[in-house]
Amino acid sequence: MPIDRIQPCPICHSEQVKRNGTPYKRCVRHLSMGVSHTYLLLQAIALECQNCGANFVWQYDFVAPKKRYTIAFQNQCLQKGHGTTVKSLARFEEAPYTTVERFFKVGIQIESEATQQTCFQDAMDRQGLVLGIDDFAIRKGHTYNTGIHDLKGGSMLDIISGRKKEDLHTYAEAHPFLHVLNPVAVVMDMSFTYHQVIGSWFPRAIRIVDRFHVNRYVTEALQDVRRDVQKGLPPHARKKLKRNHRLLAKRGDELSDKELATVQTIIHYHPTLAQAYEWKEAFIEWYDLSTNAKQAAITLQKWYKQGHAIQHQASEECLKTLKNWEKEIVNYHRLRYTNAVVEGRHNKIKALQRRHYFTRNPNVYHQRILVECNEDYMNQYMEI
């Protein structure tokens, strides 16, 4: 029940208002208390303005007019909707699905716009901005999106529909504020399209090939050598090598004593495999131990010679690719940033897609990704 006797007129803001009684009570759903639902019984007090003659009902700040759910309940639906489905949330709250869905869609749109605006403003104000560009699959092998990330700030700025050159240029034309960003570096994979487009967008930024993608090329070359070698091994050796092939891709300093003993056994089944494994480990050391770009460029030439000494087609093809991107690979030692956090967001996006059996509404899909991927960033931003 309101404490005040009257409420100012919402039209003329006059306080010359009189009561005309309470014709009914409103039953409004509020936040739950434990497992019990809470309902507020609000008096619908009829009021009449003596100044302008308007008739209105008492308005409450915590619930909109003619609504049966408080604003706090609507906000709770949005917060609880992160990491779950609307169907599960509606079942948990014992509320109609369409009602919860409406609250969630309205809330996610407002929150995504505020989140994106905050992230972009923070990126524009940042000194030494470093961007990360990478694609993720909607339908693997068919449809992809491209994410733009602020690696230094730890936020996801936006999502581009597609990964082709025309898709990127269409996005840039529709979002001119993209050119306001002034990154010192951009991290991406070895996609010629990305490097060409980013070179036109940010000509002053150095382009860095992501360490994860480069390591994957070397690891795949090692696995190709392993597949070729194991064909000529005795059955017991071939079986053991195939069973433990994942250990070859693992960093040597992260292996347990038992795993290390297994690796030492299987790589000595063939001298070419041992050479390829040492070559792979030497590349990891090159990334970890190079102190600057100049030294890295010199020691990389020694690593090339080590790879040529293997004399295998897989290592030669790998070296050919890496030589084409040598400048961008060495740039990692100018500014040590990777897209590791981006790959983590991709896992979160995949989980979201599996949880919802994908989202048919592209706008809601876009908004959910921006909100859920920036949840930790926004929590830290609000604390600051």
Q: Is 79 part of a structural domain of the chain? A: no
Looking at the structure, do residues 31 and 124 belong to the same domain, yes or no?
A: no
Looking at the structure, do residues 130 and 50 belong to the same domain, yes or no?
A: no
Q: Are 74 and 107 in contact (CB under 8 A)?
A: yes
Q: How many structural domains comprise the chain?
A: 3
Looking at the structure, do residues 345 and 201 belong to the same domain, yes or no?
A: yes
Looking at the structure, do residues 198 and 224 belong to the same domain, yes or no?
A: no
Q: Is 165 part of a structural domain of the chain? A: yes
Looking at the structure, do residues 219 and 361 belong to the same domain, yes or no?
A: no
What is the spatial distance between Cα 188 and Cα 337, in angstroms, rounded to a whole number? 10
Looking at the structure, do residues 4 and 152 belong to the same domain, yes or no?
A: no
Looking at the structure, do residues 198 and 344 belong to the same domain, yes or no?
A: yes
- Region of 13 (left: φ > 0; alpha: ψ -120 to 50; beta: rest) is left
Q: First CA to last CA across the chain, in angstroms?
A: 38
Looking at the structure, do residues 277 and 375 belong to the same domain, yes or no?
A: no
Predicted local confidence at residue 162, as pLDDT? 87
Q: Is 54 part of a structural domain of the chain? A: yes
Q: Is 100 part of a structural domain of the chain? A: no
Predicted local confidence at residue 88, as pLDDT? 87
CATH number for the domain harbouring residue 191: 3.30.420.10
Q: Is 89 part of a structural domain of the chain? A: no
Looking at the structure, do residues 347 and 202 belong to the same domain, yes or no?
A: yes
φ/ψ (deg, to 5) at 314: -65, -45
Looking at the structure, do residues 306 and 345 belong to the same domain, yes or no?
A: no
Looking at the structure, do residues 328 and 229 belong to the same domain, yes or no?
A: yes
Q: Are 103 and 366 in contact (CB under 8 A)?
A: no
Encode the chain (384 residues) as per-residue pLDDT tens digits: 888 888 898 888 888 889 888 888 999 999 988 888 999 999 999 999 998 888 989 899 999 888 899 999 988 888 888 878 888 888 888 889 899 888 888 888 998 999 999 999 999 888 899 999 999 888 777 888 999 999 998 899 999 988 899 999 999 988 888 888 889 999 999 999 999 999 999 999 999 999 999 999 999 999 999 999 999 899 999 999 999 999 999 998 899 999 999 999 999 999 999 999 999 999 999 999 998 999 999 999 999 999 999 999 999 999 999 999 999 999 999 999 999 999 999 998 888 888 776 667 788 888 888 988 888 888 776 665
Q: Is 82 part of a structural domain of the chain? A: no
What is the spatial distance between Cα 61 and Cα 109, in angstroms, rounded to a whole number? 22
Give how far Cα 115 sits from Cα of 118, 340, 344, 374, Å: 5, 22, 19, 8
> Residue 116: exposed, middle, or buried by beta-carbon count in 10 A (0-12, 13-18, 19+)?
buried
Predicted local confidence at residue 359, as pLDDT? 66
Q: Is 280 part of a structural domain of the chain? A: yes
Q: Is 84 part of a structural domain of the chain? A: no
* 56: enclosing H helix or E strand: strand 55-57
What is the spatial distance between Cα 45 and Cα 222, in angstroms, rounded to a whole number? 78
pTM score of the predicted model = 0.81
Q: Which domain holds residue 166?
A: 118-210+340-383
Looking at the structure, do residues 232 and 325 belong to the same domain, yes or no?
A: yes
Q: Which amino acid is at 354?
A: R
